Structure 1
Amino acid sequence: MSLGRTLKALRQKQSLNQKALSALSGVSQATISRIETGRVRQLRSSALKNLADALGVSVDFLMGDNEIFANIPSTASPMGSIPGVPAMREDRFRQVADTLDAFIIHENGRVLYVNQSMADMLGYRKEELLGKNGIELVLAPQSRSITQRMIANNSSKAYEVLMVRRDGGIFPVEITGRNVSENVRLAIARDITDRRCQQTVARVQRAGLEIENAHDLGKVVRILGDELEDMGLQFEAVGLQIIDEEKNLLTSYHAYPEARGYRSFQDAVDLQESLERSAPLRSLISHWHRTKVWERGADDAFLQMIQETSLGSTYRPELLIDVPFSQGMLGLGLSPGSSVGTECAISMLTELAQPISFIVRRLFDIRSLREELESAREQLLAQQRG
């Protein structure tokens, strides 16, 4: 928020007209009017201080980008103990603050104040966060350095981090920060899980449109794995099973996350033969026929089946989730001790199932067209020879 807008908002919240503020601050009414309408390019530091003192705020607050506080009703009572807050009753501030977007006030990471929205998002009670080092407590390790850098540079640019809930769940968040005094900083946090899911879907769709052969589906699965890992999902592998009953073929594509070596795998097996000797595969096909999500632990039968594939004995997930789509199943093997909730994982896979289905259907159509063209070419050659 600009100086003029901040000044006007604070003045109106204290029920002051420009003439009254002029009398309190010693700054002329004409100057106040020009400030509020954006017609003042430079202002003496003494005038800024007088205006800030009259309104009961710091100069930093008056000059800063404090939209979240400018919307809080204020009174002319003495300033509360929360740094950077305009003159108001502290209890009134706390009451209104809990209705706003999630935000936290901290001093070099040490939490000075947190509103209810932030506490709810993280799964803590507010008092459990006060006085703690927020960087170490609620940020994933890979997000701490960028946060410290943004604080050190007093940057107001939005940036993305991974936050950690009390239950260990990791989720993507957009942070916008701003200093409200010399060492005190306001950080607004927005959960961007839905936005990142939409971005993942879009990227997977773009990747799918760039391939023309089924064996290139491994690239799409690789990209999907990268996106899920960037969102903080802890998993052993992401997989795509293409079930082609007409051709009696089961083709599997898997990708490890970077944490497990960043490898990709592809297997193609005779469908009927595999069904006869693998109970887990029979259950998978049964769930696919019934279009049912299949969630289960990785039992001995599954681990035995996996040893016969490219994944081998090193792939040992704790929980398996498979979501059906028209041509197969989209699966995820969650890591032992993973904090990812199954509802969250199922929701993400379900969101991705439709674009994956579109990609596979497109490849099937391309394959059918090629087969038809090849058949027509052979018929034409036969006619020419005859």
Structure 2
Amino acid sequence: MAEGTSKLHRGWAVVVACCLIMMFPCGFSFNAASVYYPYVAEALTGGNTAPVGLYMSIIYITMAVCLLFMGKVFAEKNASVVLSVSVAAIALGFVLMATATSIKMFYVAAILLGFGNSTVLYLMIPVLIGRWFKVHNGLLIGIGTAFSGVAGMLWSPVATSIILNHGYQAGYWMYAILSAIVGLFCTLVLIRTSPESCGVEPYGADQVKDTDNKPAVLEGVTVKTALSQPGTLILIALYAGLVNLGLTMNYYLPTYVKSLEMYAATPEVAAAVGAALASATMFGTLIGKVLLGFTNDKSTPGSIIFGLLCGIIGLLLVLFGPSVNIVLAYVGGFLFGIFFASSVTTTPQLARKVFGGLNYSQIYSYITAVCALLAAFGSTFWGVIYDTTGNFVTTFFVDIAFMALAFVLGFAGMKAGKSLPRETQDVK
């Protein structure tokens, strides 16, 4: 039923489900994960955190591999079933982490988390929102992805309290149980594959028809064309991958603060300033997801420019601001957070603008495979540059150069995409 009637459109249940899945299973996997590291390290690796952090790289590598085929699966199979399997895999991963007697079990759990989140983190929201809504897509994608940030703010202190009082295993059991209960309720009760499967039109379909006078069709580049003429796909994937690589600098901002000469004699102040800078970045990411979601509905090219400029200006303020006033660094962290948000808001909208909706999930899965792969090695990459050069000036400017290159790649991809042949298919 259309939005003009008294009955609430079925698509809003899908939006609620996406928000809850991002806040629970996905949020547990990423935004509320790091609080466990020191306790797991103490119990399983003799206090060495590097082997614990390795499981996150395994998650991203697994996602990169799974995304090579999960786009096709998500396009052809029932979304409720695919997502149910995905959240069940995430919940099972947390069960393994709760019962692990060696760090190797964490690595097995990481494969399950990577498999489940390949669909949940990268495909669920842009694909389902694109199917269910013909208007406000960017804003809804931004709101949905913002709930992973809400998870970080909400669940990190809750998990810390549970860990301190009952042990880290109890915290992982909480993650497993809530992931299963909330996730499966959303996938089995709220999520449906498409409006057509429910006998309704997408939300806003009447507005599109009134404006464009077009029938209900899917239009875009086929996955066969995208792969046989790969130039555009490579350009967009490299844009997305460089954005994802660039945002991993976020992990080094507290370390950067500790490296500043002005805090050398006061490590406790450096820790406090580093934590505040990280919080400013997280807040910027949360606001940025909604803001860029809104701007993407107006102009995707404008959103690319805005997001990258926020990243460049943000890093410059973080780099040079402390010598003037530390508040400038916090402003820089906030702006860098907006750039961070562009990875999950502007990137999917750019892919839809260039390739259309015909084979969107398959094509977008190839793009996000590059994102996941570069994210897997991002934090190590910046660490190598810092260790090699001995300063963050070079490290930050390499990141800025990548942002500038991403700008070129993104606009080159949009230009190249105009020459790709496009096809249409009636909506069934």
Larger relative helix fraction: 2
TM-score bucket (shorter structure)? under 0.3
Task: Return the structure number with greater relative CO, CA threshold 8 A, min gap 6.
Answer: 2
Larger radius of gyration: 1
With structure 1 as the length reference, what TM-score do the two structures score? 0.24
Relative to total residues, which structure has the larger strand share, 1 or 2?
1
